[in-house]
Amino acid sequence: MIRGYRAVLDHRQLGIGFTSYVAVGLSHHTKMDQEGFEAAIAQAPEVRECHNVTGTFEYLLRVETADLSAYKHFHTEVLGILPQVSSISSFVVMGSPKDERA
């Protein structure tokens, strides 16, 4: 039943000051495109969570970076260059009054 234990880290001490949820749409809905996208995202340290979801987009990411400038780099130079990606919508976290992940 217990899959593990987690530590609650202080984001400020780790240099993380910016969190965004990112909805990603794919150009094609093939298994090969999904696997290619997932393999690329697995290599991106900024992506803390990646979920394949139903609805108007295929993936929901939780992205943590040092600041907006670092997020822009991730948006442009990581997500923006993936051939599978057709749309990116960012939702910037302004506060988290409830967060029970830990």
In a domain, 55, yes or no: yes
Domain holding 28, by residue range, is 12-92
Once rounded to an integer, what is the mean pLDDT over residues 10-17?
Answer: 86
In a domain, 75, yes or no: yes
In a domain, 44, yes or no: yes
Q: Name every residue whose Cβ is closer than 8 Å to that of residue 73 and which is 6 or more positions away in sequence.
A: 65
Question: pLDDT tens across 38-87, in order?
Answer: 999 999 999 999 999 999 999 999 999 999 999 999 999 999 999 999 99
In a domain, 57, yes or no: yes
Once rounded to an integer, what is the mean pLDDT over residues 82-99?
Answer: 95
The tokens of 42 are what?
């697995």
In a domain, 7, yes or no: no
In a domain, 78, yes or no: yes
The CATH number covering residue 78 comes to 3.30.70.920
Rg (CA), the chain: 14
Beta strands in 1-102 (DSSP E): 18-26, 47-52, 59-65, 85-92
pLDDT the model gives residue 10: 83
**How many domains would you assign to the chain?**
1
Q: Name every residue whose Cβ is closer than 8 Å to that of residue 90 and which is 6 or more positions away in sequence.
A: 20, 21, 22, 23, 71, 75
pLDDT above 70 (res 25): yes
In a domain, 97, yes or no: no
In a domain, 76, yes or no: yes
